[in-house]
Amino acid sequence: MRSVVVSSSFSLSSSPGDVWPFITDTDRTNRLVIGSANVYRPIEKGTKSSARFLVEAKAAGMTMTYEEAPFEWTLNKSFSVYRKMRSGPLESYTYGITLDPAPDGGTKVTVRLDLVPRHWLLRPIAQIEGNRIVARMAKLAESIDAHLRDKAPSPYLKPSSPANEERLDFAQRELEKRDLDAKAIATLVDLIRNGPDADLVRIRPFELAHEHGVDEREMLRICLHAVTLGVVELRWALVCPSCRTASDQVTSLAEIGDASHCQLCDLQFGVELDKAVEATFVPHPSVREVSNMMFCIGGPARTPHVVAQAVVDARGEKSLEAPAEAGRYRVFARGGAIASVDVTSEGATSATVTLEGEALTPPAVDVAPGASIVVHNRTSTPLHVKLERLGYASRAATAHVVTTLSEFRRFFSKDLLKPSTPLKVASVAILFSDLTGSTALYTRAGDAAAFRLVDDHFDVLRKVIDEHGGSVVKTMGDAIMAAFIEPLACVRASIACLHAFETFRVDADNGELTGIKLGLFAGPCYVVTANDAIDYFGQTVNCASRVQHCAETGEIVFEEEVWDRLPEVDKSKLRLVSKLETTVKGVAHPLRLVRTKLMTEIVSQRHLTSQKRASSPELV
């Protein structure tokens, strides 16, 4: 059957690069242009198709079922999608948009629909529906241009469901009573009150913070506090390492296994808390009813790190265009085969990689900006390949980050991992403290006074650790174990802990009997549930414990490599006592460490007062 082609071109004053992220957000465009949601089901195994999903949709009052091939695109230039119908009035449907740069810096936009009806009698309906979609798309593009050019309201602010104003006002007042940033509170509340539904089905705190210029961790803290007030609900998304979209979503850490599968990428991946598990939030239904219906899941805007994507037929080939920006990229073929791509000015103008079996060869190529990377598919299955930008900044609030916040341990103490499922993190900084002189303290001060001092010192350290973005994992006797995202923050917290403890000690009853020593170490670790709490185990924990044992009273001991990376503003607070090496069972090489002390001595106010009295002449 001959196709019905509907095409329209129009001009925008904004550049292709500015228009691209808006016009490729197909979930939002479909909400406004099509208006009906889709139902997505994984495609059955054994189908000789590049499609990964079977979609049920409605158009012109009729229900259609189709196989949706992966979208194809080249960054800032064009995108398209092919849908093979299994039911409905059409045999196939191809939709595409091209952005061509105009001489005046604007963009020539071309929207094209290629509709193949099942019967010639359906051609008029296809023509009418095609004209309607193209006209709506043109109107939406003009609204996007006005938003970019004149700062007009974004067309994506709708649709928006109503919010419970009374509940929101109450929650905002309660949040403002807590030690939280007022601007960040207002940002979250405004989003829940006025944000479009599409922004609320998956609230990402770090992304929200970045857009509004507030601190990321503060926004995350506010979201956790908001859960306790019934404003939002916490969700855990399992994120594919390739497409970086959620392959699954759960409401509890206990529902997470040690592996997951991405249907789109056909990729089985291990679940690591610092990479594959992201905390997101959604309004509580009593505050605002937000539909989680999907209008499109495959547009380029969902995967902004992918600069090009194409479907390659079985035994066929397709070209991917290298981006204009130099950097490190990789070709990814559905199923997990990869080849590294370095884009440099000295690179070749073209390159070829071949998919055979489960591997891409050669494993690495160097190309120039704009070069053609031809992918040969030697397999018997059509599949999609993509060119991914490496090092793309992620704004995911990972489970690793969340579980190091004191608010999470305080508010969500029952949200634990499966007892039998340790999950890996690539790096965590573990801090151990130890109260020295405790034996003499208990002997001379008595059990009650000694216990009070130990407990008070826990409060002092816990407050400092919280303020520096760490979390107390547990206390052991008179020692603390804490976790931080990275070692520099851990060192800064250690400096502050030592300073705070010395200030506390010199004026505390029996404080002169005690001291404190600190040791820290960073590396890969496993996160587990132990004694009904989230805990860490592995060689990194063993090393941190060993490092702490190398410290003397009043010292912080850590790796020499961390000392070398420490900014001068932090180094100036420490005095290097010595360097040393120590061995840990199971670690191949000795640990190279530094022993440090505070640069300035903390002097007791009580001591200053007694000195002043001693030096003053007696009154007669």
Check residue 613 and give its pLDDT: 45
Scanning 431-529, the segments in alpha helix (DSSP H) are: 438-445, 447-467, 487-507
Asked if residue 136 is part of any domain, the answer here is: yes
Same domain, 360 and 494: no
Asked if residue 440 is part of any domain, the answer here is: yes
Asked if residue 612 is part of any domain, the answer here is: no
Check residue 601 and give its pLDDT: 66
Which residues lie closer than 8 Å to 493 by C-beta, 6 or more apart? 431, 464, 465, 467, 468, 469, 470, 482, 484
Same domain, 367 and 437: no
Same domain, 477 and 567: yes
Cα separations (Å) of 37 from 32, 41, 156?
A: 11, 13, 16
CATH number at residue 460: 3.30.70.1230
CATH number at residue 75: 3.30.530.20
Instruction: State the CB neighbour count (10 A cutoff) for residue 406.
Output: 19
Looking at residue 245, the DSSP 8-state letter turns out to be S
Looking at residue 70, the DSSP 8-state letter turns out to be P
Same domain, 438 and 586: yes
Same domain, 42 and 145: yes
3-state SS, residue 181: coil
> What does pTM read for this prediction?
0.86
Name residues of the chain where pLDDT drops below 70.
45-47, 60, 601-620
Contact of 322 with 341, CB cutoff 8 Å: yes
Which residue, among 246, 259, 333, has the nearest Cα to 297 in the 3D structure? 246
Same domain, 447 and 589: yes
Of the residues 371, 389, 407, the one at which a domain ends: 389
3-state SS, residue 550: coil
- Type of residue found at 117: P
Number of domains in the chain: 3
Check residue 264 and give its pLDDT: 92
Contact of 50 with 311, CB cutoff 8 Å: yes
Same domain, 379 and 442: no
Which residue, among 525, 556, 531, has the nearest Cα to 543 in the 3D structure? 525
Token representation of residue 180: 């939280």
Indicate the angle between helix axes 165-176 and 182-194, nearest 10 degrees. Answer: 170
Check residue 276 and give its pLDDT: 93
Asked if residue 504 is part of any domain, the answer here is: yes
3-state DSSP percent of the chain in helix, strand and coil, to 5: 35, 35, 30
Which residue, among 154, 21, 20, has the nearest Cα to 99 in the 3D structure? 20
Residue-range definition of the domain harbouring residue 374: 305-389
**Tokens 């130099």, residue located:** 326
**Tokens 């090009």, residue located:** 308
Same domain, 451 and 368: no
CA distance 253 to 267: 21
Asked if residue 181 is part of any domain, the answer here is: no
Residue 262: φ, ψ to 5°: -95, 120
What is the DSSP secondary-structure string of 401-424?
Answer: HHHTSHHHHHH-TT----TT--EE
Beta bridge partners of 332: 338, 386
CA distance 386 to 390: 12
**Tokens 């849908």, residue located:** 83
Asked if residue 178 is part of any domain, the answer here is: no
How deeply is 443 buried, as exposed, middle or buried, from its count of CB atoms within 10 A (0-12, 13-18, 19+)? exposed
Which residue, among 567, 596, 560, has the nearest Cα to 581 in the 3D structure? 560
How deeply is 579 buried, as exposed, middle or buried, from its count of CB atoms within 10 A (0-12, 13-18, 19+)? exposed
Same domain, 553 and 465: yes
Cα separations (Å) of 550 from 491, 518, 543, 581, 584?
A: 16, 9, 11, 9, 12
**Tokens 């037929």, residue located:** 313
Which residues lie closer than 8 Å to 589 by C-beta, 6 or more apart? none
Beta-strand pair 78-87/72-74:
antiparallel
Same domain, 384 and 426: no
Asked if residue 567 is part of any domain, the answer here is: yes
Contact of 493 with 465, CB cutoff 8 Å: yes
Instruction: State the CB neighbour count (10 A cutoff) for residue 350.
Output: 14
Contact of 225 with 175, CB cutoff 8 Å: yes
Same domain, 374 and 489: no
Check residue 113 and give its pLDDT: 97
Same domain, 439 and 365: no
Which tens digit of pLDDT belongs to each residue from 116-170?
999 988 899 999 999 999 999 999 999 999 999 999 999 998 878 899 999 999 9
Check residue 147 and give its pLDDT: 97
Asked if residue 122 is part of any domain, the answer here is: yes
Q: Using only the alpha carbons of the chain, give its radius of gyration.
A: 30
Of the residues 157, 190, 222, the one at which a domain ends: 157
Of the residues 132, 157, 182, the one at which a domain ends: 157
Beta-strand pair 471-476/423-436:
unpaired
